[in-house]
Chain A
Amino acid sequence: AQSVAQPEDQVNVAEGNPLTVKCTYSVSGNPYLFWYVQYPNRGLQFLLKYITGDNLVKGSYGFEAEFNKSQTSFHLKKPSALVSDSALYFCAVRDYNNNDMRFGAGTRLTVKP
Protein backbone atom coordinates (compact mmCIF):
# COMPACT_ATOMS: atom_id res chain seq x y z
CA ALA A 1 0.00 0.00 0.00
CA GLN A 2 1.09 3.55 -0.60
CA SER A 3 2.28 5.51 2.41
CA VAL A 4 4.31 8.53 3.47
CA ALA A 5 6.25 9.24 6.64
CA GLN A 6 7.20 12.56 8.16
CA PRO A 7 10.07 11.84 10.54
CA GLU A 8 9.93 15.18 12.39
CA ASP A 9 7.00 16.23 14.56
CA GLN A 10 8.41 19.74 14.89
CA VAL A 11 10.77 21.96 12.92
CA ASN A 12 11.99 25.31 14.23
CA VAL A 13 13.78 27.87 12.07
CA ALA A 14 14.64 31.54 12.32
CA GLU A 15 13.00 34.02 9.98
CA GLY A 16 15.08 34.51 6.85
CA ASN A 17 16.80 31.13 7.12
CA PRO A 18 16.11 28.27 4.69
CA LEU A 19 13.65 25.64 5.83
CA THR A 20 13.24 21.95 5.04
CA VAL A 21 10.33 19.71 6.04
CA LYS A 22 11.09 16.06 5.40
CA CYS A 23 8.93 13.37 3.82
CA THR A 24 9.72 9.84 2.71
CA TYR A 25 7.40 7.64 0.70
CA SER A 26 6.70 3.99 0.03
CA VAL A 27 4.79 3.14 -3.14
CA SER A 28 4.28 0.39 -5.64
CA GLY A 29 4.37 1.96 -9.07
CA ASN A 30 4.74 5.62 -9.90
CA PRO A 31 4.34 8.01 -6.97
CA TYR A 32 1.84 10.86 -7.03
CA LEU A 33 3.07 13.08 -4.19
CA PHE A 34 1.59 16.21 -2.66
CA TRP A 35 2.28 18.79 0.03
CA TYR A 36 -0.46 20.59 1.97
CA VAL A 37 -0.41 23.24 4.70
CA GLN A 38 -2.94 23.66 7.50
CA TYR A 39 -3.40 26.84 9.53
CA PRO A 40 -5.23 26.76 12.89
CA ASN A 41 -8.95 25.98 12.63
CA ARG A 42 -8.74 25.76 8.85
CA GLY A 43 -8.79 23.07 6.20
CA LEU A 44 -5.73 21.99 4.28
CA GLN A 45 -4.37 24.11 1.43
CA PHE A 46 -2.63 22.56 -1.55
CA LEU A 47 0.99 23.72 -2.01
CA LEU A 48 2.47 21.59 -4.78
CA LYS A 49 2.57 18.16 -6.38
CA TYR A 50 4.97 15.79 -8.13
CA ILE A 51 3.58 13.59 -10.86
CA THR A 52 6.40 13.20 -13.34
CA GLY A 53 9.12 15.27 -14.95
CA ASP A 54 11.55 17.62 -13.21
CA ASN A 55 12.63 16.51 -9.77
CA LEU A 56 12.38 20.08 -8.43
CA VAL A 57 8.76 21.17 -8.20
CA LYS A 58 7.77 24.75 -7.53
CA GLY A 59 4.55 25.61 -5.73
CA SER A 60 2.62 28.31 -3.93
CA TYR A 61 4.03 30.96 -1.54
CA GLY A 62 7.63 30.37 -2.64
CA PHE A 63 7.72 26.71 -1.59
CA GLU A 64 9.40 24.01 -3.62
CA ALA A 65 9.98 20.30 -3.19
CA GLU A 66 12.67 17.96 -4.36
CA PHE A 67 11.74 14.47 -5.52
CA ASN A 68 14.53 11.94 -4.97
CA LYS A 69 13.77 8.48 -6.29
CA SER A 70 16.88 6.78 -4.92
CA GLN A 71 16.20 8.05 -1.40
CA THR A 72 12.38 7.77 -1.78
CA SER A 73 12.07 11.29 -0.43
CA PHE A 74 10.03 14.35 -1.26
CA HIS A 75 11.27 17.12 1.03
CA LEU A 76 9.56 20.51 1.14
CA LYS A 77 11.87 23.54 1.02
CA LYS A 78 11.85 27.31 1.05
CA PRO A 79 14.96 29.49 0.65
CA SER A 80 13.90 32.14 3.19
CA ALA A 81 11.32 31.41 5.89
CA LEU A 82 8.68 33.88 7.02
CA VAL A 83 6.96 34.03 10.40
CA SER A 84 3.68 33.60 8.51
CA ASP A 85 4.90 30.18 7.26
CA SER A 86 4.34 28.83 10.78
CA ALA A 87 1.73 26.09 10.37
CA LEU A 88 1.18 22.34 10.15
CA TYR A 89 2.54 20.71 6.99
CA PHE A 90 1.34 17.42 5.55
CA CYS A 91 2.92 15.23 2.92
CA ALA A 92 0.53 12.95 1.01
CA VAL A 93 0.51 10.23 -1.63
CA ARG A 94 -2.28 8.97 -3.87
CA ASP A 95 -3.38 5.38 -3.40
CA TYR A 96 -4.45 3.91 -6.74
CA ASN A 97 -6.60 1.23 -5.18
CA ASN A 98 -9.36 3.26 -3.57
CA ASN A 99 -8.73 6.87 -4.66
CA ASP A 100 -7.41 7.65 -1.21
CA MET A 101 -5.05 10.56 -0.53
CA ARG A 102 -2.88 9.14 2.26
CA PHE A 103 -1.45 11.76 4.58
CA GLY A 104 1.52 11.71 6.89
CA ALA A 105 1.14 12.60 10.56
CA GLY A 106 2.19 16.18 9.91
CA THR A 107 5.12 18.41 10.87
CA ARG A 108 4.60 21.57 12.86
CA LEU A 109 6.80 24.35 11.50
CA THR A 110 7.57 27.29 13.76
CA VAL A 111 9.41 30.28 12.31
CA LYS A 112 10.75 32.63 14.97
CA PRO A 113 11.39 36.35 14.35
Chain B
Amino acid sequence: ETGVTQSPTHLIKTRGQQVTLRCSSQSGHNTVSWYQQALGQGPQFIFQYYREEENGRGNFPPRFSGLQFPNYSSELNVNALELDDSALYLCASSLSVGFNSPLHFGNGTRLTVT
Protein backbone atom coordinates (compact mmCIF):
# COMPACT_ATOMS: atom_id res chain seq x y z
CA GLU B 1 0.00 0.00 0.00
CA THR B 2 1.50 3.31 -1.12
CA GLY B 3 1.21 6.14 1.35
CA VAL B 4 0.70 9.84 0.68
CA THR B 5 3.57 11.38 -1.25
CA GLN B 6 4.30 15.07 -1.66
CA SER B 7 6.65 16.98 -3.91
CA PRO B 8 8.88 18.83 -3.69
CA THR B 9 10.16 18.31 -0.15
CA HIS B 10 11.67 21.77 0.08
CA LEU B 11 11.13 24.97 -1.87
CA ILE B 12 12.46 28.51 -1.67
CA LYS B 13 10.49 31.30 -3.35
CA THR B 14 10.59 35.07 -3.42
CA ARG B 15 7.75 37.27 -2.19
CA GLY B 16 5.22 37.89 -4.96
CA GLN B 17 5.96 34.67 -6.82
CA GLN B 18 3.59 31.77 -7.36
CA VAL B 19 4.08 28.16 -6.22
CA THR B 20 2.50 24.78 -6.96
CA LEU B 21 2.74 21.88 -4.53
CA ARG B 22 1.78 18.35 -5.48
CA CYS B 23 0.30 15.40 -3.66
CA SER B 24 -0.50 11.79 -4.49
CA SER B 25 -3.10 10.29 -2.21
CA GLN B 26 -2.87 6.91 -0.54
CA SER B 27 -4.12 4.03 -2.64
CA GLY B 28 -7.91 3.74 -2.44
CA HIS B 29 -8.42 7.19 -0.88
CA ASN B 30 -10.71 9.58 -2.74
CA THR B 31 -10.54 12.65 -0.49
CA VAL B 32 -7.60 15.03 -0.16
CA SER B 33 -7.10 17.83 2.36
CA TRP B 34 -4.38 20.45 2.60
CA TYR B 35 -3.01 21.95 5.80
CA GLN B 36 -0.54 24.71 6.64
CA GLN B 37 1.65 24.16 9.68
CA ALA B 38 3.62 27.18 10.85
CA LEU B 39 6.60 26.60 13.09
CA GLY B 40 5.56 25.60 16.59
CA GLN B 41 1.86 25.41 15.76
CA GLY B 42 -0.74 22.82 14.92
CA PRO B 43 -1.84 22.31 11.32
CA GLN B 44 -4.42 24.76 9.97
CA PHE B 45 -7.01 23.57 7.45
CA ILE B 46 -6.77 25.15 4.01
CA PHE B 47 -9.34 23.12 2.02
CA GLN B 48 -10.57 19.66 1.11
CA TYR B 49 -11.27 18.11 -2.29
CA TYR B 50 -13.67 15.28 -3.05
CA ARG B 51 -14.62 14.11 -6.54
CA GLU B 52 -12.54 16.93 -8.02
CA GLU B 53 -14.60 19.60 -6.25
CA GLU B 54 -13.73 21.78 -3.25
CA ASN B 55 -15.65 20.27 -0.34
CA GLY B 56 -14.79 22.60 2.50
CA ARG B 57 -12.47 25.54 3.09
CA GLY B 58 -10.72 27.08 6.04
CA ASN B 59 -9.92 30.71 6.69
CA PHE B 60 -7.44 31.23 3.86
CA PRO B 61 -7.60 33.92 1.15
CA PRO B 62 -8.52 33.13 -2.48
CA ARG B 63 -4.89 33.24 -3.55
CA PHE B 64 -4.75 29.75 -2.06
CA SER B 65 -6.38 27.47 -4.63
CA GLY B 66 -6.36 23.81 -5.47
CA LEU B 67 -7.19 21.05 -7.88
CA GLN B 68 -7.99 17.38 -7.62
CA PHE B 69 -7.47 15.10 -10.60
CA PRO B 70 -9.41 11.99 -11.65
CA ASN B 71 -6.73 9.76 -10.08
CA TYR B 72 -7.36 11.63 -6.77
CA SER B 73 -3.98 13.35 -6.79
CA SER B 74 -4.04 17.04 -5.95
CA GLU B 75 -2.27 20.36 -6.29
CA LEU B 76 -2.09 23.36 -4.00
CA ASN B 77 -1.40 26.69 -5.72
CA VAL B 78 -0.45 29.84 -3.89
CA ASN B 79 -0.28 33.15 -5.76
CA ALA B 80 1.38 36.40 -4.72
CA LEU B 81 3.46 34.74 -2.01
CA GLU B 82 3.91 36.59 1.26
CA LEU B 83 6.58 36.11 3.91
CA ASP B 84 3.95 34.67 6.28
CA ASP B 85 3.28 31.86 3.82
CA SER B 86 6.54 30.26 4.94
CA ALA B 87 5.43 27.00 6.54
CA LEU B 88 5.22 23.24 6.21
CA TYR B 89 2.38 22.35 3.83
CA LEU B 90 0.82 19.01 4.55
CA CYS B 91 -1.38 16.96 2.28
CA ALA B 92 -3.63 14.31 3.79
CA SER B 93 -5.88 11.75 2.18
CA SER B 94 -8.78 9.82 3.65
CA LEU B 95 -10.91 6.89 2.63
CA SER B 96 -14.03 9.02 2.45
CA VAL B 97 -15.52 12.35 3.46
CA GLY B 98 -17.09 10.72 6.52
CA PHE B 99 -16.40 12.44 9.83
CA ASN B 100 -14.97 9.27 11.32
CA SER B 101 -12.33 8.83 8.61
CA PRO B 102 -8.84 9.55 9.93
CA LEU B 103 -6.42 11.56 7.83
CA HIS B 104 -3.26 9.99 6.44
CA PHE B 105 -0.54 12.60 5.99
CA GLY B 106 2.40 12.96 3.69
CA ASN B 107 5.72 14.25 4.99
CA GLY B 108 5.01 17.74 3.73
CA THR B 109 6.62 20.43 1.61
CA ARG B 110 8.70 22.99 3.48
CA LEU B 111 8.13 26.36 1.78
CA THR B 112 10.38 29.29 2.55
CA VAL B 113 9.43 32.72 1.20
CA THR B 114 12.19 35.32 1.19
Contacts and interface: CB of A to CB of B under 8 A. Distances in A.
Contacts of B55: 99
A53 to B, nearest CB: 11
A94 interface: yes
B72 interface: no
B100 interface: yes
A51 interface: yes
A98 interface: yes
Interface residues of B, number: 24
Given A99-B55, A99-B56, A99-B97, A49 B102 contact: yes
Interface string A39-61: 00111111001010000000000
Interface range on chain A (Cβ under 8 Å from partner): 20 to 34
Interface string B102-114: 1111111000000
A88 to B, nearest CB: 9
Contacts of A90: 42-43
Contacts of B102: 34, 46, 49
Contacts of A103: 42-44
A94 B92 CA distance: 14
A43 B42 contact: no
B108 A98 contact: no
B42 A101 contact: no
B51 interface: no
26 contacts: A32-B99, A32-B100, A36-B103, A36-B105, A41-B107, A42-B108, A43-B92, A43-B105, A43-B107, A43-B108, A44-B90, A44-B103, A44-B105, A46-B103, A51-B100, A94-B100, A98-B58, A99-B33, A99-B55, A99-B56, A100-B56, A101-B43, A101-B92, A101-B103, A103-B42, A103-B44
Interface string B31-70: 0010000000111110010000001111000000000000
Contacts of A42: 107-108
